[in-house]
Amino acid sequence: ELIDGEAQSQRFDPLNVVCLQTLESTQYTPTFPGIPDEQFVTDKAPGKGMITKREVRLAILSLLEPTTDDCIWDVGAGCGGVATELALWGKGAQVHAIEHHPERLDCLKANQHRFAVEPNLSIVEGSAPDICSTLPAANKVFVGGSGGQLLDILNLAWEQLPERGMVVASAVTEQTRQQLYQFYQSRFSDETSHVETFELAVSRGETLAGELYYKPQLPVTLYKFVKVEKTATNEALDHV
């Protein structure tokens, strides 16, 4: 070490202790789609609360196929499970997560920071469909929550979609299933959409008195609607 231009030497006792204080990091870096539920900040116990569970979330990601050029609305984002993974794996897709519930908004913001997706995940405080008029037009929309206005949200989202844009929606309650089926009937009959639908019924392994058993989760119905031209041929539909 040089002090005033002269070499100086310092001696230390051979027995010494160095203490380093590090900053707490709350970020989590996943390596593959399908983040465990427990890794998300939620409004209830870890892995519980208003978050789309991993098995269903993976199916939604597969249906939406997020890419760099996408503008995606996540309507009724809850704590942000789907929005976070869309932003992570979309590699630059712009995701707008719409939520109005204060506690879920707090969780959504916490997950935005935890997974470091601030650059392409925008949190929109408000209720659909009204708040949607403030957003850039989307080519992909996921509806996970509707606050009782599902048909209005679906119709608004559908009207603003470009050709080959898509809407994916989930339903757990029978009323929501019926509304999705009503929308399905109206869009399928005029041949302006390609529709895919299925139901997921997952049972997760847990233990009871030291024994393995499978606990059924609530079945979730998923619909995917893809907008196509009225003149599209059956061959084109098969490749959507």
Q: What is the pLDDT of residue 23?
A: 45
Q: What is the pLDDT of residue 233?
A: 46
Q: Domain limits at 138?
A: 2-238
Minimal CA–CA distance to 75: which of 88, 60, 89, 90? 60
Whole-model pTM over 0.95: no
Q: Number of structural domains, the chain?
A: 1
Between 138 and 49, the more confident residue is 138
Average pLDDT value for residue range 204-218: 95
Q: Is 51 exposed, middle or buried (0-12, 13-18, 19+ CB in 10 A)?
A: buried
Cα–Cα distance between 176 and 178 in angstroms, integer?
5
Distance (Å) of CA 13 to CA 2, 9, 10, 16, 90: 21, 13, 10, 6, 55
Between 191 and 21, the more confident residue is 191
C-beta atoms surrounding 67 within 10 Å: 14
Judge whether residue 16 has pLDDT over 80. no
For residue 95, name the pLDDT band (cuts at 50, 70, 90): very high
List the CATH number of the domain containing 71. Answer: 3.40.50.150
**Residues 195/182/217/142 CA torsion (nearest 10 deg):** 60
Pair of tokens at residue 43:
């409004």
